[in-house]
Amino acid sequence: MPKIDAIQFSCYTELYLFVYLLFLATYVINNVLSIIFFQYTTHDWLLLAVTILTCLLILGALCLLKFSVEWINKTWKVGELEARRNQVLVGLGGTALCGILPGVLVHFVEIEEWTVYFTVIVFTTTAIFFGILYLHTLPRNCKFVYRIHDKVSWALIIAHSIILLITMILGIDLQDWRRSIVIILCHVSFSVMCASSTIEIVKVLRGEFRILEDADDPELSVKMEKVRVIVHKSETDPQLIEPRITMFNYSI
């Protein structure tokens, strides 16, 4: 299970979305402070309001979608593994779309500062919503099987790298290199998001997502082994047994 210090994640896509959340929070706070103290214009406030309203509408739609998926699973009496697979596929599929659509829209929309701002905020926030609602809520016994020599995963990584390289070449404008750098960085971030979610979608379809039993959970096995050691020591060392005091007698 991927983790950062004590924070554990259900999959690598959720870990990447957590990192995006940190960058997004910093980016939004910086822009809001800039609007308040340096760029106090009606256009800036209008763009901020439209962005917030759009994100709230998307959040409402995703909550409704999650409720619908859970209702279908209960109505059709879907098994636990299949229900969790459906939940993961919706979360990963939504994240993949959030990584694909910006790279497509950039070729059909006139690139301006406000379009870049709106696209980055809305699609990144939507991907984070998918991660919170569908990936973060998975039980801890739901596991992906990761293998360093998985040929399918490496083939997908190479394919996404080639697509990213072509997209970056098409997006380079030597006359406006500053804007080109911003666009390239956006392409890289969305490409990583799309690649990670696509790889894990394939893992789910290949049966490399499963629910572990208690005996198969290595973390739980280690904890139970520690408990057995403590119990064994308490049987041989009376000092490790805490006295139990009742109202009428004292007993060990």
Do 207 and 227 fall into the same domain? Answer: no
106, burial (CB in 10 Å: exposed 0-12, middle 13-18, buried 19+): buried
> Do both 138 and 156 map to the same domain?
yes
Task: State mean pLDDT over 106-132.
Answer: 87
DSSP-derived 3-state class of residue 147: coil
Question: Are 68 and 26 in a shared domain?
Answer: yes
pTM over 0.85? The answer is no
Angstrom distance (rounded) from CA 130 to CA 193: 12
Same domain, 178 and 97: yes
Domain shared by 229 and 110, yes or no: no
Query: Are residues 63 and 94 in contact, defined by beta-carbon separation less than 8 angstroms?
Result: no
Banded model confidence at residue 251, pLDDT cuts 50, 70, 90: very low
Per the structure block, which two tokens stand in for 121?
Answer: 């905020």
Q: pLDDT per residue over 56-85, tens digit each?
A: 999 999 999 999 999 999 999 899 999 999
108 and 227 both lie in a single domain? no
Task: Return the closest-CA partner of residue 102 out of 39, 31, 176, 192.
Answer: 192
Question: In terms of residue numbers, what domain contains 178?
Answer: 3-212
* Domains held by the chain: number: 2
Same domain assignment for residues 12 and 131: yes
**Between residues 215 and 30, which one has the greater pLDDT?**
30
Identify the band that residue 92 occupies on the pLDDT scale cut at 50, 70 and 90: very high
- 48 and 72 together in one domain: yes
